[in-house]
Amino acid sequence: MAHPDEDLVREAFAAFGRGDTGALQSEYFAPDIRWHFPGRSVLAGDHQGVAQVTEKLSQPAALSGGTHRMELHDVIGNDDHVIALATVRAERPGRQLQASVVHVFHVRDGKITEAWTHHDDLYTLDESWA
């Protein structure tokens, strides 16, 4: 039986995959969510608040002409953290991204309050979103 926070993260990934930013904002993200994204690309930085985080998470689809996809492999969680293992894929003119990703989430009161994204190759990630 999965931990309830695992189910929450799986459902949030499904909403992201459908492009349902409204659900992300209202059902899955805390109003003061913080998302930490590595590297030096246009996506990088510490993003604060549901509107800013949702906008930043929508940016890869816009930059890739809608080719950005997250393939969720596994979700592991307990009362303190939820870990999601995924593969990200995207295409841009002259560039293809395929990267292994680990997301670390804090969940409180049924909402994601903080997230850290970790990619297997930051150089390729930065080049893909340059």
pLDDT in tens, 79-95: 989 999 999 999 999 88
pLDDT category of residue 1 using cuts at 50, 70 and 90 = confident
Q: How far apart are alpha carbons 57 and 89 in whole angstroms?
A: 14
Alpha helices in the chain (DSSP H): 4-18, 21-23, 50-63, 122-128
Amino acid letter, 19 = G
State the architecture of 4-128 in CATH terms: Roll (3.10)
Question: Can you give the pLDDT at residue 94?
Answer: 87
Residue 70: pLDDT band with limits 50, 70, 90: very high
Q: In this predicted structure, what is the pLDDT of residue 130? A: 83
Can you give the pTM of this predicted structure? 0.93
